[in-house]
A and B are shown apart, each in its own frame.
Chain A
Amino acid sequence: MHPAIQGLLTIVIGVGACLAYFYFSNQVLDRVLFPAKGPHAGRNINRANMVRPWLFLFPALFALSLYLAYPVVETLRLSLTDRDMGGAFIGLDNYTQMAREPKFWEAMRNNMLWLIVVPAMSTVFGLLVAQLTDRLSWGNIAKSLIFMPMAISFVGASVIWKLVYDARPAGSEQIGALNALYLWFGGTESQTWLTLPFWNNFFLMAVLIWIQTGFAMVILSAALRGIPEETVEAAIVDGANPLQIFFKIKMPQIYPTIMVVWTTITLVVLKVFDIVYAMTNGQWGTQVLANYMYDKLFVARDWGVGSASAIVIMLLVTPILVWNVVQARREMR
């Protein structure tokens, strides 16, 4: 069967099955199990209303548990067992094996660099653009153009930036913008930027910063608009200069939003895989955790160490998870 027809069928069957499930389960509940008539009509209605939420929730809860909650537990189990010995419990052996690998520590070091640089730069650039475009007549067009990379895949962005970083042998004309610029400003010979030890990490980060700045800008721009005019006006009347207004009046008011932007980008950074995979595949000292994990799982076929590194990513995410849940619960009250 042609996959397109199969896809169409899946939509029809999937959506149809969902709607049918919801419709008929409600019918069964109201007509068969707890009919709203007869001697116990009142009691039946109450009981039906107690069951109904779970009918509505069941498919989603089932999928969430199976596709996100169960894997967390299962990955934890896999990271503590040995694949060769038929899943025998081996304690922390996978972790100690991982800790002996220099590639893992390289990935950890790089991930820490990514975690500091990318959220910081994206937020700063986003804030800068949001503030600059705030009262510009063509601000919306500018914002929309800076926001655009959000729609581009990490892989597409990697190709785009590989062209920027392209290097030709010395003597021939450079077709990579960065090398052309470098030579124009008096560089002596072309550089292969992606193999430059240590600094190549920053050239990879530039790609993600380029993508995430738009996101930071959109959120922060909305937050800046939400600042009450009176506070700014009062500061102006008191003789504050623009810098003071920005840092002393506006920044404190949008601080919670900055935190949200920062943590959201942090999450993206922890999962960054495509960019490193497509541009260097972790060579030349650019390994990161997500790509290290992919290497272990699908290239080296070592599920134990691969799961262990996945758990490391999960541990790094956990503080944000807790913070988010606490925030959400506070909001609900």
Chain B
Amino acid sequence: MDNIAGRKSSLSWAVNISVVVIVALWLFPTVGLFVSSFRTADQIATTGWWKAPFAAEQNLTLRTGAPDSQAQEGDVWVIAGNLFDEEGVQPAPISVWGISSRDVGAYAVGETAETRAGERITVLENGDYRMEAPERMEGSRGQRVFVTAVVPPEFTLANYRQVLFSDNSTDSMAKAFFNTLTVTIPATIIPIVVAAFAAYALAWMDFPGRALLIAFVVGLLVVPLQLALIPLLKLHLGIGIGKGYLGVWLAHTGFGLPLAIYLLRNYMAGLPRDIIENARVDGATEFQIFTKIILPLSYPALASFAIFQFLWTWNDLLVAKVFLIDATGQTTVMTNQIVELLGTRGGNWEILATAAFVSIAVPLAVFFAMQRYLVRGLLAGSVK
């Protein structure tokens, strides 16, 4: 504000820095989820996501080959090979290792440990090992070896594969994704059509009770939809719609109408009077005026509301839970699927993060593509 008076503010660096800090603070949680969705379960569980770009020291539990792979060399029995190959794990340089879970860093590479059964085992940095025993080794599984290795940063798409394409119905978001889409699109388009006609009547037609109706719409804008749950569910069950897509489309249409009418009426009332009067003089019917003049001119307001309604129906949980999702769970939407994952898979951050990111990706794309209309709609809806 100082530069109005002709000098640049000496505080401008402070302003820049504080905005950077605030923006970073605001982005930090979302970035965390995004980064986590590309990490394996092990990585998420052992290090914070902010360490993802760096090589991390990780404790791995590996096994030597099973005793049936042993070979006799002179008077000793030997199992040899590579620890990483045995388990199919990405090789990484080992720093220390151990054979007891109580002391995983007991030995340096190249040292030799002796197990209780008298086997002598040596592990090298690259994971090569050699286990010797004076007698034939027994058992079905190999000796456990705990290694501490520096694992390079690694990102994976496996989480997305599991969440989007796996057959496991509790993890799969693919069906929920299409269900959400099925709910969202009709629930966005239908209220626009219904509201546009009403908004035109309220903006450009003169009739007794018009002011009262506008007040009615403004009042309904703030009625919490919580009140509507039980009466409407009873109504839907009573007239045979039951729980299902039709019910949720109708409910979203009803709940979205006040904002739609309010936004569109405010916008249409601001259109130039001349155009409409000229069209009337030229003999256009009200229906023609509406479809040929008002609708094309109201495009920005229509877009604003469409974005609101899309975001709101896509992100909705309550209405879907009450009007759509029945006991079979066939019609679950993504928000509900995520809440269920929070219950069943509360600790599996790789699944949760990926599922959540799949569900917020579409609104984010819409948000960044259509932000202009969203802001315009917000301003029209509240500054007045």
Given contacts A53-B205, A163-B353, A261-B382, contact A71 B232 (CB under 8 A): yes
B318 touching A274 by the CB < 8 A rule? Answer: yes
A236 touching B214 by the CB < 8 A rule? Answer: no
A52 touching B224 by the CB < 8 A rule? Answer: no
**Residues in B whose Cβ lies below 8 Å from that of A219:** 378-379, 382-383
> Is B172 in the interface zone, CB < 8 Å from A?
no
CB contacts under 8 Å to B, within A151-181, are: 151-156, 158-164, 166, 173-177, 180
Given contacts A67-B254, A153-B314, A173-B46, contact A11 B190 (CB under 8 A): yes
- Give me the interface of A with B, judged by CB distance under 8 Å: 3-4, 6-7, 10-11, 14-15, 18-19, 22-23, 26, 30, 49-50, 52-54, 56-57, 59-61, 63-64, 66-72, 74-75, 78, 125, 128-129, 132-136, 139, 142, 144-156, 158-164, 166, 173-177, 180, 210, 213, 215, 218-219, 222-223, 229, 232-233, 236-237, 242, 245-246, 257, 260-261, 264, 267, 270-271, 273-274, 277-278, 290, 293-294, 297-298, 303, 306-307, 310-311, 313-314, 317, 320-321, 324-325, 328-329, 331-332
> Is B77 in the interface zone, CB < 8 Å from A?
no
- Give me the interface of B with A, judged by CB distance under 8 Å: 1-5, 9, 11, 15-16, 18-19, 22-23, 26-30, 32-33, 36, 44-50, 178-179, 181-183, 185-186, 189-190, 193-195, 197-198, 200-202, 205, 207, 210-211, 213-232, 235, 245-246, 249-251, 253-255, 257-258, 261, 285-287, 290, 311, 314-318, 321-322, 331, 335, 338-339, 342, 349, 352-353, 355-356, 359-360, 363-364, 366-368, 371, 374-375, 378-379, 382-384
| Interface SS, A side | helix
**Residues in A whose Cβ lies below 8 Å from that of B16:** 136
B226 touching A222 by the CB < 8 A rule? Answer: no
A161 touching B258 by the CB < 8 A rule? Answer: no
Given contacts A57-B198, A64-B254, A163-B36, contact A175 B48 (CB under 8 A): yes
| Interface SS, B side | helix
A233 touching B5 by the CB < 8 A rule? Answer: yes
Complex Cα spacing A26 to B359, Å: 43
Partner of B221, one of A153, A154, A158, A324: A324
B193 touching A313 by the CB < 8 A rule? Answer: no
Between A60, A229, A233, A325, the greatest number of chain B beta carbons within 10 A of the residue's beta carbon is seen for A60
Partner of A218, one of B230, B253, B311, B375: B375
A50 touching B26 by the CB < 8 A rule? Answer: no
A164 touching B32 by the CB < 8 A rule? Answer: yes
CB distance from B366 to the nearest CB of A (A): 7
A56 touching B227 by the CB < 8 A rule? Answer: no
Complex Cα spacing A73 to B265, Å: 27
CB distance from B299 to the nearest CB of A (A): 17
Given contacts A64-B257, A310-B226, contact A325 B218 (CB under 8 A): yes
Complex Cα spacing A67 to B232, Å: 7
- Measured CB to CB, the nearest residue on chain A to B20 is A142
Complex Cα spacing A163 to B347, Å: 10
**Residues in A whose Cβ lies below 8 Å from that of B255:** 67-68
- Measured CB to CB, the nearest residue on chain B to A145 is B23
CB distance from B354 to the nearest CB of A (A): 10
B193 touching A173 by the CB < 8 A rule? Answer: no
- Measured CB to CB, the nearest residue on chain B to A180 is B48
- Measured CB to CB, the nearest residue on chain B to A215 is B378
A177 touching B182 by the CB < 8 A rule? Answer: no
CB distance from B357 to the nearest CB of A (A): 8
Given contacts A132-B18, A152-B360, A159-B33, contact A64 B249 (CB under 8 A): no
Partner of A163, one of B32, B195, B222, B230: B32
- Measured CB to CB, the nearest residue on chain A to B337 is A155
B356 touching A159 by the CB < 8 A rule? Answer: yes
Given contacts A19-B193, A261-B382, contact A136 B19 (CB under 8 A): yes
The 3 A-B pairs with the shortest beta carbon distances in the complex, nearest first, are A67-B254, A153-B315, A60-B198
